């Protein structure tokens, strides 16, 4: 199972992306656990996950987010603006798989 956490400003704008990623995973036969959370809850939601993906609107937190993820041994990346804007669940799932090595 691939455990992915999506973080954005309030955890709401990534909910559609979360759904599209689940659909893409189902089409590919990949078991996933994907949850969108507000970025201010990031430190409480890193244990036991495979990858953290952040919405482009919270890029101002890059240094702080990187430090938290590094401390938990979790790979982290910002979701590309194009994929975020077009809600491309397949591309974002591919990014998560690439980062996690799964």
What is the DSSP code string of the chain?
Answer: -EEEEEEESSSSTTHHHHHHHHHHHHHHT--EEEEEEEGGGGGGG-TT-SEEEE-GGGGGGHHHHHHHHHHHT--EEEPPHHHHHTT-HHHHHHHHHHHHT-
Instruction: Please give the model's pTM, rounded to 2 decimal places.
Output: 0.94
Active site residues: 8
Q: How many domains, in total, are found in the chain?
A: 1
Task: State residue 101 phi and psi, 5-degree precision.
Answer: 80, 15
> What integer is the mean pLDDT of 37-45?
94
Q: The domain containing residue 6 runs over which residues? A: 2-100
Domain of 87, CATH number, reads 3.40.50.2300
* Structure confidence by residue, pLDDT tens digits, 42-62: 999 999 999 999 999 999 999
Mean pLDDT, the chain, rounded, equals: 95
Query: Of all residues in the chain, what percent carry a pLDDT higher than 90?
Result: 92
d(CA 18, CA 91): 12
């Amino acid at each position: 199972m691939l455990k992915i956490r999506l973080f954005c400003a309030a955890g709401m704008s990534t909910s559609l992306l979360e759904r599209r990623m689940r659909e893409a995973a189902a089409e590919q036969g990949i078991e996933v656990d994907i949850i969108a959370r507000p970025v201010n809850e990031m430190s409480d939601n890193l244990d036991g996950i495979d990858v953290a993906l952040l919405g482009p609107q919270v890029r101002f937190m890059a240094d702080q987010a990187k430090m938290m993820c590094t401390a938990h041994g979790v790979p982290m990346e910002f979701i590309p603006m194009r994929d975020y804007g077009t809600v491309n669940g397949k591309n974002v799932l591919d990014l998560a798989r690439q980062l996690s090595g799964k």
